[in-house]
């Protein structure tokens, strides 16, 4: 008389779904266990699964052939189940990057004058300049010089330091990641550093997010102006993709990085006492 286990196996080979039911109950396959042969056969016929399996570690591929024999189907060694995860993360990352490249190319509608939205390229370039480091540094230095209140000087000096910090941090990440700008970008940007040939993250997006938060937190602005700040920051980010300067992920990460940079600025905030010391040393 066949054992219940044997009859379940027989039922499966008779065409039950991959993660289907036997005796009316669903079964789920552990990632740590080698799949039964009938599942391997099915997976091999599915191109997506075949790609997944091809990216598995050699150890796992070796193991899947012998594990039922050597371990009696009890499972693979711990190290093998750990190695499976990076391959899944790898597939997820490559898919995200493929979507990113495809979407960014489609959205790069102002990349040159004869692009589909090429007529608004000058407007996008104006928005680009509004988020550039030089006008921000020059404007902040001017306000610092003109400010006659201690509170105003404190805010402007901290904004100036924040802008310098942003340039340094973005420069470091760009130099480490070294992601090329999109192929459809025309490198006709105003005043760039050598690291600015790299695109990850968008320096304009980090600046827009950080300065946007800074202005909202430290300037007393009426509601329409607060909305304008948010709109400006969003437009700076969007214009990077429309101009073909960046991929979408460069801008999304840039916004996140700028948001976090503002937290850092708050932590490192230069107090009036420190300021007086600094100004005293300068004088
Ligand atoms: C005083 C001083 C060191 C000024 C340097 C300002 C400068 C050249 C900033 C670079 C701004 C820039 C072109 C960033 C690149 O932005 P992405 O959004 O294209 O990454």
- Is residue 32 within 8 Å of 56, Cβ to Cβ? no
Q: For residue range 214-273, what is the model confidence (pLDDT) as tens digits?
A: 999 999 999 999 999 999 999 999 999 999 999 999 999 999 999 999 999 999 999 888
Can you give the pLDDT at residue 107?
Answer: 97
Ligand 1 atom nearest 190 alpha carbon? 13
Pairing of the two strands 25-26 and 21-22: antiparallel
**How many C-beta atoms surround the C-beta of residue 128 within 10 A?**
20
Q: Among residues 132, 184, 204, 218, which one is catalytic?
A: 204
Catalytic site includes residue 246? yes
Pocket lined around ligand 1, Cβ cut-off 6 Å: 132-134, 137, 167, 189, 191-193, 196, 202-204, 240, 245
Ligand 1 atom nearest 181 alpha carbon? 19
Q: Output the average pLDDT for the chain.
A: 79
Could you say which DSSP state residue 34 is in? P
Best mutation site among 144, 167, 244 for ligand 1 pocket (most ligand atoms within 8 Å of CB): 167
| Mean pLDDT, rounded, for 39-52 | 43
The H or E element spanning position 104 is helix 78-107
The H or E element spanning position 22 is strand 21-22
Q: Which of 208, 23, 182 is nearest to 111 (CA)?
A: 182
Which tokens is 29 given? Answer: 């396959």
Ligand 1 atom nearest 196 alpha carbon? 15
Can you give the pLDDT at residue 193?
Answer: 87
In angstroms, the CA 237 to CA 8 distance is 57
- In the chain, what are the domain boundaries? 31-86, 108-282
Predicted confidence (pLDDT) at residue 108 exceeds the cutoff of 70: yes
Nearest CA to ligand 1 atom 13: 192
Catalytic site includes residue 38? no
Predicted confidence (pLDDT) at residue 9 exceeds the cutoff of 80: no
């Amino acid at each position: 008389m066949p054992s219940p286990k044997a009859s379940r196996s027989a039922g499966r080979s008779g065409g039950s779904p991959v993660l289907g039911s036997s005796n009316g109950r669903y079964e789920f396959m552990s990632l740590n266990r080698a799949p039964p042969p009938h599942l391997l056969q099915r997976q091999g016929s599915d191109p997506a699964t075949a790609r997944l399996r091809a990216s598995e570690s050699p150890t796992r591929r070796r193991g899947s052939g012998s594990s039922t024999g050597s371990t009696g189907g009890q499972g693979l060694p711990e190290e093998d189940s750990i190695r499976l995860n990076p391959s899944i993360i790898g597939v997820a990352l490559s898919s995200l990057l493929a979507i990113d490249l495809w979407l960014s190319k489609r959205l790069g509608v102002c990349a040159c004058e004869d692009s589909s939205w090429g007529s608004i390229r000058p407007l996008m370039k104006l928005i680009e300049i509004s988020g550039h480091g030089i006008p921000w540094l020059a404007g902040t230095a001017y306000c610092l010089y003109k400010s006659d209140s201690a509170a105003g000087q404190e805010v402007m000096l901290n904004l100036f330091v924040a802008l310098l910090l942003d340039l340094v941090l973005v420069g470091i990440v760009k130099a480490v990641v070294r992601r090329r700008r999109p192929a459809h970008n025309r490198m006709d940007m105003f005043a760039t550093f050598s690291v600015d040939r790299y695109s990850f993250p968008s320096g304009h997006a980090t600046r827009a997010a950080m300065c946007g938060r800074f202005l909202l937190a430290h300037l007393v602005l009426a509601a329409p102006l607060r909305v304008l700040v948010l709109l400006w920051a969003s437009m700076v980010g969007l214009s990077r993709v429309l101009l073909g300067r960046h991929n979408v992920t460069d801008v999304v990460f840039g916004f996140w990085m700028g948001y976090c940079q503002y937290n850092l600025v708050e932590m490192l905030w230069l107090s009036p006492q420190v300021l007086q010391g600094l100004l005293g040393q300068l004088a």
